[in-house]
């Protein structure tokens, strides 16, 4: 459904998406990553709003850039509010539905149905400026759903919603996926995505860190040794001391520092801290060499 090969996007000197390769299956795919990871850029690339600097992206086998036929069956919910404040939800959704070519009365009917799905029927005629943040989120989802899209791309759709609305939205997305709509949902909150799908793409700093079932990724991360660079006196003695513990799989002396590989970074950091505090070693600096992984690790285990 959604496919990327070597997908890269630069903004001047900044690389937002870096050599991403993935292929998603039908159903719901969660796009997970901390703020600034490149999720929104990837989504814009998938929605044809940005052209890849390198590599290619495809939705249902077709590149989305400049592909208006593909856009006809794409529902996009942007991250930020993109609204005309004086319009009513009904007018707003109806207007956007009409841009797909539907006659005015049909677009109105489709807009009403979409607004009903997101439980905004009571505010059809209220100006958008009077809607709460949660309602505006629902409105964004409604405009993405109104034209019965075959592909649904939702950028942080649950942000700002109350727990009851979140649960209803999650059920709605699952229903849509059950009806055959391919859904890609981004979030920086893992448990939100876990409630929707087991299938996630994990990105950080524009790179794909992991893809697959959440449980399997957790296991992989647990098994993946984490590297810590240390500057201290008596490097070899420190290395020997650390190697006494089962989680430390390797110690390498490299110039004036040692690199420790551990499967339990939190325990290892604590241990190094204790050794330094106890006066056994003078630790001058401690640096994680796997920042990306550490961020994700903390993310997944918190």
Partner 1 sequence: MSHDDARIYDQSYRPFAGDLASPRSRFLIIAANELRQAWKSKWFKRIAWFSFGPLIVFAVLVVVAARFAALGGQMEDVWMPFWGIQMFFAMLMVFFIGRGAVGEDLRTGALTVYFSRPVSFMQYLAGKWLAVAVGVLGVTLVPGVVLAIFRWLAEPDTGLLDFLLWLGSLLLISGLAALCMGWVILAVSALSGRARAAGIVWVVLFFVSFGIGEGLAEATGIYELNALGFGQASEQLARGLLGGGGTLGEVFWFSLGQLGWALLGLVVVLFKLRRWMRV
- Residue numbers at the binding site for partner 1 (CB under 8 A): 44, 47-49, 51, 65-66, 68-69, 71-72, 74, 76, 78, 80-84, 86-87, 95-96, 98-103, 106, 109-110, 113, 143, 148
What b/e string do you get for 242-253 counting C-beta neighbours within 10 Å, with b at 16 or more? beeeebbeebee
d(CA 290, CA 266): 13
CA atoms within 13 A on the CB side of 12: 0
Nearer to partner 1, 179 or 256 (CB): 179
CB atoms near residue 29 (< 10 Å): 25
Retrieve residue 173's tokens: 């997305």
Taking each helix axis from N to C end, the angle separating 104-117 and 133-145, rounded to the nearest 10 degrees, works out to 130
Q: Which is nearer to partner 1, 62 or 270 (CB)?
A: 62
What distance in Å separates the CA atoms of residue 86 and residue 98, rounded to the nearest whole number?
A: 18
CB of 211 to partner 1, least distance (A): 25
Tokens representing residue 81 in the block: 């509010």
Please report how close the Cβ of residue 128 comes to partner 1 at its closest, in angstroms.
11
Measured from the CB atom, is 125 or 256 closer to partner 1? 125
DSSP sequence for 121-149: GGGTTS-GGGS-HHHHHHHHHHHHHTT--
Which residue's CB is nearer to partner 1, number 185 or number 217?
Answer: 185
Taking the complex as a whole, the smallest distance from the CB of residue 274 to partner 1 amounts, in Å, to: 50
Q: How far is the CB of 72 from partner 1 (least distance, A)?
A: 5
Q: How far apart are CA 154 and CA 170, in angstroms?
A: 12
* The dihedral sign for the CA sequence 15, 20, 26, 28: negative
CA distance 50 to 229: 39
Q: Which residue's CB is nearer to partner 1, number 81 or number 290? A: 81
Instruction: State in angstroms the smallest separation of the CB of 75 from partner 1.
Output: 8
The minimum distance between CB 86 and partner 1, in angstroms, equals: 7
Q: Which is nearer to partner 1, 102 or 269 (CB)?
A: 102
Cβ closer to partner 1: 154 or 190?
154
Closest approach of partner 1 to the CB of residue 50, in Å: 9
């Amino acid at each position: 459904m959604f496919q990327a090969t070597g997908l890269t996007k630069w903004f001047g000197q900044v690389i937002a998406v870096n050599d991403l390769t993935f292929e998603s299956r039908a159903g719901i795919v969660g796009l997970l990553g901390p703020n600034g990871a490149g999720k929104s850029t990837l989504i814009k690339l998938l929605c044809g709003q940005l052209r890849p600097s390198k590599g290619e992206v495809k939705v249902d086998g077709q590149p989305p850039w400049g592909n208006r036929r593909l856009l006809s069956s794409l529902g996009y919910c942007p991250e930020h509010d993109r609204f005309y404040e004086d319009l009513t939800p009904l007018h707003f959704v109806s207007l956007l539905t009409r841009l797909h070519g539907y006659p005015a009365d049909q677009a109105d009917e489709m807009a009403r149905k979409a607004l009903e799905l997101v439980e905004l029927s009571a505010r059809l005629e209220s100006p958008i400026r009077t809607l709460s943040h949660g309602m505006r989120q629902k409105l964004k989802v409604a405009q993405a759903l109104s034209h019965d899209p075959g592909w649904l791309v939702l950028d942080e759709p649950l942000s700002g919603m109350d727990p009851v609305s979140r649960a209803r939205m999650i059920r709605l997305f699952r229903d849509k996926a059950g009806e055959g709509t391919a859904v890609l949902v981004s979030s920086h909150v893992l448990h939100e995505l876990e409630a929707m799908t087991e299938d996630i793409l994990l990105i950080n700093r524009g790179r794909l860190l992991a893809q697959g079932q959440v449980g399997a990724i957790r296991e992989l991360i647990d098994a993946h040794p984490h590297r810590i660079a240390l500057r201290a006196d008596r490097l070899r003695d420190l290395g020997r001391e650390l190697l006494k513990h089962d989680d430390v799989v390797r110690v390498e002396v490299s110039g004036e520092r040692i690199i420790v590989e551990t499967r339990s970074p939190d325990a290892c950091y604590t241990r190094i801290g204790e050794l330094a505090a106890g006066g056994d070693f003078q630790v001058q600096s401690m640096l994680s060499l796997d920042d990306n992984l550490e961020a994700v690790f903390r993310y997944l285990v918190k």
